[in-house]
Amino acid sequence: MASDKILQVTENTFDALVLNAALPVLVDFWADWCGPCRMLSPILDQLADEFDSRAVIAKINVDEQPELARKYDIMTIPTIMIFRGGELLEKNSGVIPKSELENMLGKAINN
């Protein structure tokens, strides 16, 4: 079941929801047709619930938001980026194991 805690981000809302967020933000660049993206989706739903109030999980559909994909040099999807305080802390592509995503978020929260 998709988590209602995951933010759907657009070019218009990116600055407010990601760069100016009070909490660290994990951003998933994805597309509907991407099989690995669909594999990652339930993991992100779990993280949204587990990290509720400590971090934000956001998704950006690269087909609907090509300007953001270009701006952040998204060459493959899924690509996961972690932002904190407007800064990009980490960028990884492909299906990332849940434990690794938890570690990435943990570092962003605790540093």
pLDDT single digits (tens) 32-60? 999 999 999 999 999 999 999 999 999 99
Is 62 part of any domain?
yes
Is 2 part of any domain?
no
- Percent of the chain exceeding pLDDT 90 equals 95
pTM here is: 0.95
Is 20 part of any domain?
yes
Q: Which residues are catalytic?
A: 34, 37
Closest C-alpha to 68, from 29, 26, 22: 29
Count how many domains the chain has: 1
Is 110 part of any domain?
no
Residues spanned by the domain of 81:
7-103
Is 1 part of any domain?
no
Is 43 part of any domain?
yes
For residue 66, name the pLDDT band (cuts at 50, 70, 90): very high
pLDDT of residue 10: 97
DSSP codes, 38-66: HHHHHHHHHHHHHTTTT-EEEEEETTT-H
**CATH number, residue 40:** 3.40.30.10
Is 111 part of any domain?
no
Structure tokens at 15: 């600055």
- Compute the distance between CA of residue 88 and CA of residue 26 in angstroms, rounded to an integer: 10
